Structure 1
């Protein structure tokens, strides 16, 4: 039995851009720990990981986390060009681990890459025998803001094309929900036809957790009804919705109640800093008293007259305390790709109030584990808050909380997710791989372009120009020939792909009876 287990052990290498605190980072950590618990050797490479701003498993030795390629490329330039910097940082990370032989020495059986796909062709090129699993949280082209201006659309176009092309080098593509799978199928129909997109829901650790806090501090939370929101401080999370709904309770309805807004906050990210200030201003305009803190000690000793408490960069201990003390979780993001926080709340026995869009439709069961409300109807959110605070008995709240616990344990456990990913990695061994001919030709094109530039500059020099007259070439002729060749190649490829699709449709058997479309996800509603 021991020999059999040893034979199944795999070396799996993770690549993640910045290993901070967020839903994507939580998934990476859970996947890595789960696969490690199944007996595999796990190493995570990242461009940045601040021990003061990351999950416990990334800093306490549970996982082998290696920071490479953090210098000299910044995460952004004057708070702009983030996508260029992110791609360069990933390529730097891959090239550094390749050139130093650090990656080769690990003898990886598989790569797990998420968020950014630009480096996949290079991993395929450098390690032709190693399979690649790409986890798509959401298409990056839909996350980019400011596309209303034509200049931003033109700027983003090459990166959008690169995203789809580079993802095709993955041997398997996983998505976090049926919602995301539908979006990917709409945005990249060719990719969805070429790759069988697999749904791997994010998970939570269902094992009981021990919270180390002083007993004297517990009553501070027990004396107050907590409406809790846990999100990164980003505009797309729409945290202001929770503040407006809470203000709608009125002064009498807010007695003995506090809205706690906790989540990921990075002082390096300008959006976090600016949005936090905007939320504080919004609360003030609605007549709510606010306080901001970062530590457990100061959080537990906030004055009773504070209506809205902001907790920045919440450590796990404080987060577990909050979940165990909360009366209701208020989850405000619209069209969230999945959303791990509702699962954490349900596991803690806390009912969830979430937007009736995106991932929560697959996790929260209306009326049984929580409520789903339109994100543009603040009054309905206020009504649910009032119901939970003043109209539901303790037994009713507890019953709903227990239903949430059972749902999470049966459908979204960390053991199930690790088992699912392990199965996908095993299945990649039989998948058809994309060749690297395009990448080789692209490198050749770059070399020709560089040669043209050097040749042109050299001809401007009198001495070198006289010597080069014997082999005179028109300016940038090689680059022009390469561009024309690529254009012909793409036209022929599109025509070939189109003819294949027509033949496939022509040869496809006619559907018999009524066609039924289903998704293999729990409680998934077709809403895209």
Structure 2
């Protein structure tokens, strides 16, 4: 029985956290002993599964700063993960066979260069060096050693996995010195048990009298382009007769961490935009909802809007399709692999007019909504099943452990 330790920077709410939990639970079902080590785990803001004792969530290094006067998040993240790895290897007394690490590769030297080097699987959601802009020479100078460190330490992994063919291509183009590596694709899976259960009556207030709810589920971060959903709703209003418009409502539900200034600022900006476009009564904002609330929202929505461009993969479209909801998404990145255009939803240029055109088609045709919903459910079950994810991951772990 293999013993697997997961290293993850912050076990909050997001696609990366969802994948780590699903992977740990999948290996536990296969008889592996699993633990998750992280620098931060807020029990009030996390997926419910992270509270399960079988996952053995352990924290180390949360006393280290997340930033320095609002700057240096990348350096602090690397230092926090280095401390977690150091504590695990040298101070915890834990014995393990394989380490599953994701997001921050800076800790890999501790795992590989210690007296008893560990076998490491690194899961690359997306190269971190592409997630920040370098508009100034000072920022480029600051990022240069971090970018070098990311590439060098990623190369120390015994196996590299990515979440989509899109990310695999970006990985090859970005990490030129790692051209000898061909990362395998391990698509994220869905927690079908959570999506299948009938949620209790949610303590959410949605406007009465509305029949067509467009739902967006994404963190309140600018890169998620939630402005697109609000502006598309504004364009949609001009395209519909008043009777049809009166049925429509937009729900922006997203992860929100008050410790992150961007979350606070962007949430306020979106509310202000809705006011400027005279849509305040037509948009509901929900912050940091629970799993049960998410299932409840999916069950009452008519369509899910997925607005980020060049998203690495995106678990929300899969959740929507499994819930028999068509998805309107930007035509780039991971959604090109998960959504079938005009079959399970629409892949559109990320512009308000293009999104509004697709939204209008679904408003006017209940039959189309139902047909796309059924096609989406079938696609998820055939292509992105939890069984396939579990079997593929378990094979990787067995290979590394022996």
TM-score (normalised: structure 2): 0.94
Answer yes or no: is the 8 Å Cα contact 2:362–2:368 preserved in 1.
Answer: no
Displacement after TM superposition at 1:187 (Å): 0.8
Answer yes or no: is the 8 Å Cα contact 1:113–1:135 preserved in 2.
Answer: yes
The gaps in structure 2 that reach 5 residues or longer are none
After the TM superposition, which segments of 4 or more aligned residues of structure 1 sit over 6 Å from their partners? 215-222
Q: Indicate how the Cα distance of structure 1 residues 171 and 333 shifts in structure 2: closer, same or farther if over 3 A, else same.
A: same
* Corresponding position: 1:345 with 2:331: no
Answer yes or no: is the 8 Å Cα contact 2:111–2:117 preserved in 1.
Answer: no
Structure 2 counterpart of 1:119 = 107
TM-score (normalised: structure 1): 0.72
Give the one of 139, 153, 156 matched to 1:152.
139
* Corresponding position: 1:35 with 2:21: no
Structure 1 counterpart of 2:308 = 333
Give CA-to-partner distance per residue, 1:110-135, whole Å, 9 cap, x none.
00000000010110122635310000
Structure 1 counterpart of 2:378 = 406
SS in structure 2 at match of 1:135: strand
Instruction: Provide the rounded CA distance (Å) in 1 between the counterparts of 2:130 and 2:108.
Output: 20
SS in structure 1 at match of 2:172: helix
Give CA-to-partner distance per residue, 1:33-78, whole Å, 9 cap, x none.
111111111100000010111000012435221111111x111122
Answer yes or no: is the 8 Å Cα contact 1:13–1:42 preserved in 2.
Answer: yes
Judge which range, 350-359 or 409-418, deviates more.
409-418
Q: Indicate how the Cα distance of structure 1 residues 332 and 127 shifts in structure 2: closer, same or farther if over 3 A, else same.
A: farther
* Corresponding position: 1:133 with 2:121: yes
The gaps in structure 1 that reach 5 residues or longer are 1-8, 290-305, 431-528
Structure 2 counterpart of 1:50 = 42
SS in structure 2 at match of 1:148: coil
Answer yes or no: is the 8 Å Cα contact 1:221–1:325 preserved in 2.
Answer: no
Structure 1 counterpart of 2:191 = 205
Instruction: Provide the rounded CA distance (Å) in 2 between the counterparts of 1:19 and 1:170.
Output: 22
Q: Indicate how the Cα distance of structure 1 residues 221 and 135 shifts in structure 2: closer, same or farther if over 3 A, else same.
A: farther
Answer yes or no: is the 8 Å Cα contact 2:7–2:102 preserved in 1.
Answer: yes
* Corresponding position: 1:70 with 2:44: no
Give the one of 361, 372, 375 matched to 1:387.
361
Structure 1 counterpart of 2:235 = 248
Structure 2 counterpart of 1:276 = 267
Displacement after TM superposition at 1:383 (Å): 1.0
Structure 2 counterpart of 1:447 = none
Q: Indicate how the Cα distance of structure 1 residues 282 and 65 shifts in structure 2: closer, same or farther if over 3 A, else same.
A: same
Instruction: Provide the rounded CA distance (Å) in 1 between the counterparts of 2:51 and 2:287.
Output: 19
Structure 2 counterpart of 1:448 = none
Displacement after TM superposition at 1:196 (Å): 2.5
Instruction: Provide the rounded CA distance (Å) in 2 between the counterparts of 1:219 and 1:244.
Output: 20
Displacement after TM superposition at 1:99 (Å): 3.0
Answer yes or no: is the 8 Å Cα contact 2:328–2:358 preserved in 1.
Answer: yes
Rg larger in 1 or in 2?
Answer: 1
Answer yes or no: is the 8 Å Cα contact 1:172–1:196 preserved in 2.
Answer: no
Matching of residues 289-300 of structure 1 within 5 Å: 289=280
* Corresponding position: 1:258 with 2:231: no
Instruction: Provide the rounded CA distance (Å) in 2 between the counterparts of 1:366 and 1:52.
Output: 38
Give CA-to-partner distance per residue, 1:323-378, whole Å, 9 cap, x none.
11110100000000000000000000000000000000000001110000011x32
Give the one of 312, 325, 344 matched to 1:369.
344
Structure 1 counterpart of 2:15 = 23
Q: Indicate how the Cα distance of structure 1 residues 277 and 220 shifts in structure 2: closer, same or farther if over 3 A, else same.
A: closer
Structure 2 counterpart of 1:417 = 389
Answer yes or no: is the 8 Å Cα contact 2:199–2:296 preserved in 1.
Answer: no
Instruction: Provide the rounded CA distance (Å) in 2 between the counterparts of 1:276 and 1:156.
Output: 28
Report the RMSD for the aligned CA atoms in angstroms: 1.9
Answer yes or no: is the 8 Å Cα contact 1:205–1:413 preserved in 2.
Answer: no
Matching of residues 167-186 of structure 1 within 5 Å: 167-186=154-173
Instruction: Provide the rounded CA distance (Å) in 2 between the counterparts of 1:412 and 1:86.
Output: 31
Displacement after TM superposition at 1:218 (Å): 10
Answer yes or no: is the 8 Å Cα contact 2:210–2:248 preserved in 1.
Answer: no
SS in structure 2 at match of 1:248: helix
Instruction: Provide the rounded CA distance (Å) in 1 between the counterparts of 2:96 and 2:201.
Output: 44
Q: Indicate how the Cα distance of structure 1 residues 221 and 411 shifts in structure 2: closer, same or farther if over 3 A, else same.
A: farther
Answer yes or no: is the 8 Å Cα contact 1:117–1:163 preserved in 2.
Answer: yes
Instruction: Provide the rounded CA distance (Å) in 2 between the counterparts of 1:45 and 1:428.
Output: 20
Structure 1 counterpart of 2:225 = 238
Q: How many residues align?
A: 397
